[in-house]
Amino acid sequence: MKAEYINPFLDAAINVIEQVIQIRPTTGQLQIKEVQVFDQYVWIDIGMTGQMTGNIVFGLHESVALKMVSAMMGGFVLTELDEIGHSAISELGNMIGGNASTILYNQGVKVDITPPKVLQSTAGHFNAKQALSVPLMMEGIGDLDIQVLIS
């Protein structure tokens, strides 16, 4: 997978987060890093098929996910990621994935995305060894890592 394919997901994530959470994230540096699964993390895994295959994974600490879901729900405070929280965070991934696939299509890259899978803590298992990664920093909320998994 090419490094430039992360940009549509990065652009889509910034736009969607700005619309639904009402905060403009800033981006960190693009890097290649080893894929690691952390405790107390939530992973949104979106598969891609077509001219581009692989996975885009959004990783965020559970506390960040709770803040994002609360903002998506108009400020309703959640204390745990229950079924509603999982649904909301999955929908966030779906919105980002859908917007990114539209951007890719407009660039001449035909790609289909799978419905997002929400994995929590070490329940997530990824086959890739390395990922292209860009962190999004959201002031007052925390960080969300966007990772393109390289098989």
Question: What sign results for the dihedral spanned by CA atoms 29, 30, 31, 34?
Answer: positive
Global pTM?
A: 0.88
From first to last of its 151 residues, what are the pLDDT tens digits of the chain? 566 778 999 999 999 999 999 999 999 998 888 777 777 889 899 998 998 888 888 989 999 999 999 999 888 888 888 898 999 999 999 999 999 999 999 999 999 999 999 988 655 466 667 788 899 999 999 999 988 886 5
Tokens 């994974």, located at residue: 57
Q: Report the largest interatomic distance among the alpha carbons of the chain, rounded to a whole angstrom.
A: 43
Residue 31: name the closest of 1, 3, 70, 64 by CA: 3
Q: Do the beta carbons of residue 92 and residue 68 sit within 8 Å?
A: yes
Fold of the domain spanning 3-22+30-150: Chemotaxis protein chec (3.40.1550)
Question: What's the alpha-carbon Rg for the chain, to the nearest Å?
Answer: 14
- What residue spans define the domains of the chain? 3-22+30-150
Q: How far apart are CA 21 and CA 96, in angstroms?
A: 13
